[in-house]
Amino acid sequence: MRFTVRTRIALDLFAAVALSMVIVVIGTLFIGRQVLWENAQIQTDRLASTLAAQIAAQRVPGQLLSSAGNRARLGVLLAPAVFEGNEVELSVRDRFGQEVWRLQGSLGPRPIVIKKPVPGGGMLKVRLSTNLTNLTLDKLTRTLLLLSLGNVVLVTLLAWWLLNRSVAAPVGRLINAVEQLQSEADEFPTLPGMGTELVALQTAIERMRFRMELARGELERRHIELQQAHDDLLTAQKVAERAEHLAGVGRLAAGIAHEVGNPLAALVGFVQLLSSERIPESKKQEVHERLERELNRIGEIIGRLLAYARPAREAMGPVDVAESVRSAAELVRADRVYRTVDLELALDDKTGPVTAEPNALRQVLVNLLLNAAEAMESMERGRVRVTIRPERRHLLLIVEDSGPGIPSEIRSEIFEPFFTTREVGKGTGLGLSVCHGLVRGWGGDIRVDGSELGGARFEVELRYNTEAREAS
């Protein structure tokens, strides 16, 4: 429950006054109880002294209090009728401790006990009830509680009225004035009947409103600039991705040209052989079959290259990683850099689809596979291994090689734009940066480490496509 400032202050004041009054009542009751108790003890002591003196004056001289004469006199002096209405109990003993007289009475709990020696020998014991004292204390308690409650209510009502007149009403007028501002150009009105603090608050609100207007204008200007910068960044990112994609096409085309050139040379030879009519009829069928195989080979290579050259950006959806790896492997195997590189695939077809863009994922794979092979160009023989490893929350795609590897001191910069370890003119420096952006855009991640094969190890985390997995 939410309270107004006035209500909270009144409640706090009520609690403070009530607590102070409780302390006062407890202190007053404690002191009153002590005073009443001491007064009762004094009265009881005086009664015992007076009775002891009267017993000494009325006793038979030279006789014990237990004698018949003294007993008779005690019966008259301490008769029940004398103490009727008084809650008191008397006990008289002689000098030998023998009780010679007792007056019974209804005393209640915790009576006051006073013992007084009787001149001439003997002991008087007086027990006085404290019921009257307790009754007086109860009346005092009720009176103090009523007075305290009335005082708390009166002080609270008075504080409520003062707060309403001095704080709540001016603050209410201040709130209404703030709410009635129709536009940023409206001036804050001057409100009468306000204290110095509230006038200062009004001035501070006006200054704050002015600063907020300036800040709002600055925020709108920066928002426009930020939006423009964001749009420019998206455009640059798309341009970079397309440029890297075309660069990858160029890299593949340069490598595949040799692979296409060999079948073309063979085709020219077969055509010339057929044209010379020097080939026996029995061999013509075989030559035709070899011509067909070489043409099919050229068609497959060019078809894969054209498929890769299509624009990479598509709508994200479920993608079969194993199939994408096979497609990329077939494409790069035709490149000349893989003539001395063994490409090993350790694939699992039961891992389920991931969320990605099919052509873009193939672009990432081609880039990683070409980088791995090009890093081993100076080696006599190299190895590239692609592994698919299913994890609980994602699929891990690993591309590793037996090349020289990537030094640990530059691994944190390897995905930065335009960062490259190749010679000038041999690479754009955008390949891994684009791969990083694509994978992160799918909700995944890519990182680099050392491989047990001796070279670099790239790990690509890809999110499972939950809808496709549940449907299957």
Residue 387 lies in a domain: yes
Q: Provide the 10 A C-beta neighbour count for residue 431.
A: 23
Residue 321 lies in a domain: yes
- If asked whether residues 257 and 375 sit together in one domain, one would say yes
Closest CA to 468 of 320, 348, 353: 353
Q: What is the pLDDT of residue 272?
A: 66
- pLDDT tens for the chain, 472 residues long, are 566 666 676 677 777 777 887 788 788 778 877 887 788 788 888 888 888 888 888 888 878 877 888 788 877 787 777 676 667 788 888 888 888 878 777 777 778 888 888 888 888 888 877 777 777 778 878 887 888 788 778 877 787 777 777 666 666 666 666 666 554 445 555 555 555 666 666 677 777 777 887 888 888 888 888 888 878 777 776 666 666 555 655 655 655 565 566 666 666 666 666 666 666 666 667 667 767 766 766 666 666 555 555 554 567 889 999 999 998 898 888 777 888 899 999 998 888 899 998 888 988 898 899 889 988 988 889 999 999 999 988 999 999 999 999 898 888 888 887 677 776 555 556 778 888 888 988 999 999 999 999 999 999 999 998 887 776 6
**Which of 119, 138, 157 is the C-terminal boundary of a domain?**
138
Q: Which amino acid is at 72?
A: A
Q: What is the pLDDT of residue 210?
A: 75
Residue 453 lies in a domain: yes
> In the β-sheet with 99-103, what is the strand arrangement from edge to edge?
99-103, 88-93, 123-128, 112-117
**Which of 73, 108, 138 is the C-terminal boundary of a domain?**
138
Contact between 447 and 402 (Cβ < 8 Å): no
- If asked whether residues 331 and 451 sit together in one domain, one would say yes
Domain total in the chain? 2
Q: What is the pLDDT of residue 181?
A: 58
The pTM for the full model equals: 0.43
Q: What is the pLDDT of residue 388?
A: 94
Q: Which amino acid is at 3?
A: F
Q: Provide the 10 A C-beta neighbour count for residue 64.
A: 18
Residue 194 lies in a domain: no
Residue 147 lies in a domain: no
Tell me the β-bridge partners of 450: 456
Name the DSSP letter for residue 312: -
Q: How far apart are CA 17 and CA 5, in angstroms?
A: 18
Helices (H), 347-415: 358-374
Q: What is the pLDDT of residue 185?
A: 46
The enclosing domain of 26 has a CATH number of 3.30.450
Residue 445 lies in a domain: yes
Radius of gyration, alpha carbons of the chain: 55
Contact between 329 and 438 (Cβ < 8 Å): no
Q: Residue 444 is part of which domain span?
A: 244-471
**Which of 103, 138, 173 is the C-terminal boundary of a domain?**
138
The enclosing domain of 303 has a CATH number of 3.30.565.10
Structure tokens at 332: 């790069």
Structure tokens at 178: 């703030």
Q: How far apart are CA 286 and CA 220, in angstroms?
A: 77
Give CA angle at 252 (246, 257), nearest 5°. 125
- If asked whether residues 126 and 272 sit together in one domain, one would say no
- If asked whether residues 128 and 262 sit together in one domain, one would say no
- If asked whether residues 11 and 132 sit together in one domain, one would say yes
Q: In Å, how far are 134, 147, 330 from 23, measured between CA atoms?
A: 21, 13, 93
Residue 206 lies in a domain: no
Residue 153 lies in a domain: no
